[in-house]
């Protein structure tokens, strides 16, 4: 089995954990290919039994890779999505960060997770992505996101107006700081913090959630993911911010934007003992009540 390893922010405090993960992978005879920057930071601290392969982009990630390990937090997982793209390489998230909805496997469960992978005792959850169509190229050839697409006012501007359409039919004009189009995967993230609902990952839907709306009776709406959602943006300045997950572009309001469901999915690896209900109970503390 060939596994790729990715980490975007090398922290000295994680060296011992990373050393242990490498040893466990080698113990189970898993071959490794490292993200170049990660390898260069890690190499002085680890002795490898065999010199690993290196990748720097999606283009040189070996197509025979069986799995990509994301070592970090949820932001690291979102970066990793850009590496796998439509390659069908599954992602597994080892949580070295804080909350960890996507990178759901904590340090103490890594060995058990690796054993599950070797035994084949895991499931692959296919997750929907959101795709951005724009009148000019944006986001460097990767116009897709696992979590969300957002429109935001720039720091220097006042509230913006976002005219929003479903399949060309007018939905609403949002007077707000911004607007989120969240996938089911992201319903427990930014959208939730802005008052949006929690949606099961398998739900065929998008959640449209305004950010700090001026009209307080404007709420989130769940729409089928076969809709094309398009936008026209007005404001006191002629530029606004557009994001796909953690990537940001500054966009002129003359640029045409629309989002829809991406034509491919991304697979997340879940050891058999992990599932969505367990995750929301642990991370959101649902059911943690003294009366229970």
- Which residues form the catalytic set? 74
Residue recorded with tokens 């997750």: 127
Number of C-beta neighbours around residue 188 at 10 A: 25
Which residues are bridge partners to 179 per DSSP? 151, 210
Residue 57 CB contacts under 8 Å (≥ 6 apart), including other chains: 83
Residue 155 CB contacts under 8 Å (≥ 6 apart), including other chains: none
Residue 247 CB contacts under 8 Å (≥ 6 apart), including other chains: 139, 142, 145
| Tokens representing residue 243 in the block | 């994001």
| Tokens representing residue 118 in the block | 């070797």
Residue 70 CA to residue 78 CA, distance in Å, equals 9
Residue 48 CA to residue 274 CA, distance in Å, equals 30
Helix H segments across the chain?
15-27, 36-42, 74-84, 110-119, 190-193, 276-283
Residue 7 CA to residue 90 CA, distance in Å, equals 16
Q: What is the DSSP letter of 227?
A: S
Judge whether 150 and 242 are in contact, CB under 8 Å: yes
Which residues are bridge partners to 93 per DSSP? 70
Residue 130 CA to residue 139 CA, distance in Å, equals 13
């Amino acid at each position: 089995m060939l596994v790729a390893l990715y980490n975007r922010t090398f922290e000295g405090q994680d060296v011992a954990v990373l050393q242990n993960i490498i040893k466990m992978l080698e113990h189970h005879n898993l071959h490794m290919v490292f993200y170049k920057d990660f390898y260069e930071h890690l190499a002085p601290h680890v002795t490898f039994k065999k010199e690993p392969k290196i990748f720097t982009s999606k283009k040189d990630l070996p197509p025979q890779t069986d799995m990509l390990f994301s070592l970090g937090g949820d932001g690291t997982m979102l970066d990793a999505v850009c590496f796998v793209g439509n390659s069908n390489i599954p992602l597994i998230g080892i949580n070295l960060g804080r909350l960890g909805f996507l990178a759901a496997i904590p340090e103490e469960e890594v060995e058990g997770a690796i054993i599950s992978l070797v035994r084949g005792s895991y499931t692959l959850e296919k997750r929907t992505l959101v795709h951005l169509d724009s009148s000019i190229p944006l986001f460097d050839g990767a116009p897709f996101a696992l979590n969300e697409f957002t429109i935001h006012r720039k720091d220097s501007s006042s509230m913006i107006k976002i005219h929003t359409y479903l399949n060309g039919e007018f939905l609403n004009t949002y007077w707000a700081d911004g607007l989120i189009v969240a996938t089911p995967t992201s319903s427990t993230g930014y959208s939730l913090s802005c008052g949006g609902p929690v949606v099961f990952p398998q739900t065929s839907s998008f959640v449209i959630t305004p950010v700090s709306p001026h009209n307080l009776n404007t709420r989130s709406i769940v729409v089928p993911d076969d809709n094309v959602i398009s936008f026209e943006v007005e404001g006191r300045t002629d530029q606004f911010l557009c994001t796909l997950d953690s990537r940001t572009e500054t966009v002129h309001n003359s640029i045409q934007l629309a989002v829809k469901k991406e034509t491919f999915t991304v697979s997340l690896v879940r050891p058999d003992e992990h599932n969505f209900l367990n995750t929301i109970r642990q991370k959101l503390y649902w059911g943690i009540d003294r009366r229970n």
